[in-house]
């Protein structure tokens, strides 16, 4: 028999933060995936909203592309505020 | 410990210079504390060992629902029944987190369950013992979940990201399991003489199987050495067992219950409780399938799977019908 597809589950906690990936589960369709996610991932008030996405529909960067994707940021230290030393006398900046 | 004697496929632990350049880079990342993620390159033996270990752990969670399920309809109060149901539901959830972690390694849920149902995959020896009286439900939470926590807390720091993250979720919930068990045993130990005798009877029967959960002494085991190098095992079986004993003996004494071990003594010089010899023949008997409940557990699992087949099929048929209608509309 065909296995139920895999869904990735995202939960928004009570504190107004973005939905966060919490795990995955199997379900025949989206509606049951939400119901299963409620049972599996929110038994202790962990969330106020659930997203489910078919795992097959997610496109991920590959570990082999890590350098090409993320290394360019390494040399751009001026993107961080700490790059600019401020004189002690100057306040509120 | 829910995973026992996990085979790593290693004949001996190889030195760094004996590894291939890829394996060296992999080991260096593990030594540096970098987590391995599902799509990263990993040695085939690491992948296979993890599938064995995580699935054994997952199987233990869902088979562990059976001895407790035995008491749902006979819980002495609505409160205890609700707590027991919540606990059993958690165990099912723990199994799901772990199956999902194992699936990231490229094995399917049906394959994993197939291996459990055919008897090819193992689950913890502890769940092959029967729950004969209500106090056993307390003993499972207090002792069995207590022993599991010993092993699971370090695993939150293990090298494989999906497994470590599943362990974090599980550990958060496990403490409830242990406390409700101790609370149950405490109520009985403080109850009538008959209730206290039931609590003692449960401790007498669950003590040694719980101590055995950590597995045989592993100092000389090549598999343990390999698993430790890979950081998918962080402490030796005996180390964890000793911690469990040191933690549990005073808890039993507080309740006025005695540990069923005439050789048990406190070593003043090192501050540890020392236990008598463990009957490893019993452990191997249970592992090989000849414990009190092995056949019954497997039969129940297989029956649940087979009886649920029409539901799984109907759910897929319903989803397909709705998808087809949505397309037509």
The pLDDT assigned to A1 comes to 62
The pLDDT assigned to B224 comes to 87
The pLDDT assigned to B240 comes to 95
The pLDDT assigned to B17 comes to 85
Q: What is the DSSP string of A6-36?
A: EEEEEEE-TTSPPPEEEEEEE-SSHHHHHHH
What sign results for the dihedral spanned by CA atoms B286, B291, B296, B297?
Answer: negative
The pLDDT assigned to B31 comes to 96
The pLDDT assigned to B263 comes to 98
Among A5, A7, A37, A40, the strongest candidate for a mutation testing the B interface, having the largest count of B CBs within 10 A, is A40
Asked whether residue B1 carries a pLDDT value surpassing 60, the answer given is no
- Model confidence, pTM: 0.92
What CATH architecture does domain A1-58 belong to?
Answer: Roll (3.10)
Secondary structure (3-state) at A52: strand
Do A39 and B316 make contact, defined as CB atoms within 8 angstroms? no
Q: Among candidates B164, B181, B178, B173, which has minimal Cα distance to A43?
A: B173
Measure the N-to-C terminal CA separation of chain A; round to a whole number of Å. Answer: 64
B97-114 pLDDT, tens per residue? 999 999 999 999 999 999
B231-270 pLDDT, tens per residue? 999 999 999 999 999 999 999 999 999 999 999 999 999 9
Per-residue pLDDT averaged across B71-75, rounded?
A: 97
- Going from the C-alpha of A27 to that of each of A8, A78, B58, B61, B122, the distances in angstroms are 10, 47, 18, 20, 26
Least Cα separation, residue B94 to chain A (angstroms): 9
Q: How far is CA B317 from the centre of its chain?
A: 35
State the alpha helices, DSSP H only, in chain B. 21-31, 44-63, 65-69, 78-103, 109-117, 135-139, 145-155, 161-189, 193-212, 222-229, 237-254, 280-285, 294-307, 309-328
The pLDDT assigned to A67 comes to 86
* Domain assignments of chain A as residue spans, ordered by start: 1-58
Least CB-CB distance to B97: which of A2, A23, A39? A23
Q: How far apart are CA B255 and CA B196, in angstroms?
A: 9
Mean residue pLDDT of chain B comes to 95
Least CB-CB distance to B100: which of A1, A2, A23? A23
Asked whether residue B219 carries a pLDDT value surpassing 80, the answer given is no
Could you tell me which chain A residue has the CA closest to the CA of B311? A28
Asked whether residue B128 carries a pLDDT value surpassing 60, the answer given is yes
Q: How far apart are CA B175 and CA B180, in angstroms?
A: 9
* A63: confidence class by pLDDT, cuts 50, 70, 90: confident
Least Cα separation, residue A50 to chain B (angstroms): 17
Least CB-CB distance to A28: which of B37, B103, B318? B318
Name the residue with tokens 């129940």: B300
Asked whether residue B220 carries a pLDDT value surpassing 70, the answer given is no
B259-298 pLDDT, tens per residue? 999 999 999 999 999 999 999 999 999 999 999 999 999 9
The CB density around residue B83, as the number of other CB atoms within 10 Å, is 20
Per-residue pLDDT averaged across B36-49, rounded?
A: 95
Q: Which residues of A touch B165 (CB under 8 A)?
A: 23
Q: What percent of chain B has pLDDT over 70?
A: 99
Check if B312 contacts A (Cβ < 8 Å).
Answer: yes
Check if B318 contacts A (Cβ < 8 Å).
Answer: yes
Asked whether residue B314 carries a pLDDT value surpassing 80, the answer given is yes
B159-199 pLDDT, tens per residue? 999 999 999 999 999 999 999 999 999 999 999 999 999 99
Per-residue pLDDT averaged across B82-99, rounded?
A: 96
């Amino acid at each position: 028999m065909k296995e139920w597809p895999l869904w990735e589950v995202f939960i928004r906690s009570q504190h107004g933060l973005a939905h966060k990936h919490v795990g995955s589960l199997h379900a025949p369709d989206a509606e049951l995936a939400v119901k299963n996610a409620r049972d599996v991932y929110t038994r202790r008030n962990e969330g106020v909203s659930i997203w489910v996405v078919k795992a097959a529909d997610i496109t991920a960067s590959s570990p082999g592309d890590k350098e090409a994707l993320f290394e360019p940021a390494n040399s751009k230290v001026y993107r961080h505020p700490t790059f600019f030393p401020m004189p002690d006398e100057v306040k509120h900046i | 410990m829910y995973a026992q004697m996990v085979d790593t496929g290693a004949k001996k632990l190889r030195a760094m210079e004996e590894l291939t350049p890829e394996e060296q880079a992999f080991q260096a990342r593990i030594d540096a504390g970098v987590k391995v993620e599902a799509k990263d390159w990993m040695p085939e033996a690491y992948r296979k060992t993890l599938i064995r270990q995580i699935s054994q752990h997952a199987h233990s969670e869902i088979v562990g629902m059976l001895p407790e399920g035995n008491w749902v309809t006979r819980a002495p109060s609505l409160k205890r029944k609700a707590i027991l149901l919540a606990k059993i539901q958690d165990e099912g959830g723990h199994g799901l987190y772990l199956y999902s972690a194992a699936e990231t390694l490229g094995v399917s849920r049906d394959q994993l369950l197939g291996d459990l149902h055919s008897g090819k995959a193992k689950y913890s020896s502890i769940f092959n013992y029967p729950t004969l009286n209500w106090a056993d439900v307390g003993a499972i939470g207090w002792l069995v979940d207590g022993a599991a926590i010993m092993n699971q807390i370090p695993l939150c720091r293990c090298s494989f990201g999906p497994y470590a993250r599943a362990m974090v979720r599980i550990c958060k919930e496990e403490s409830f399991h242990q406390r409700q068990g101790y609370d149950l045993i405490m109520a009985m130990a403080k109850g009538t003489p008959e209730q206290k005798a039931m609590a003692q009877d449960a401790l007498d029967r669950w003590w040694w199987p719980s101590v055995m959960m950590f597995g045989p002494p592993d100092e000389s085991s090549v598999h343990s050495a390999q698993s430790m190098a890979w950081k998918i095992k962080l402490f030796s079986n005996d180390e964890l067992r000793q911690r469990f004993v040191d933690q549990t003996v005073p808890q039993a004494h507080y309740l006025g219950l005695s540990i069923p071990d005439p050789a048990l003594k406190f070593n003043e010089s090192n501050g540890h409780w020392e236990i008598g010899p463990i009957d490893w023949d019993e452990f191997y008997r249970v592992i090989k399938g000849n414990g009190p409940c092995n056949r019954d557990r497997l039969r129940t699992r297989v029956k649940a799977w087979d009886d649920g087949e029409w539901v799984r099929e109907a759910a897929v048929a319903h989803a397909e019908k709705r998808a087809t209608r949505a397309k037509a509309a």
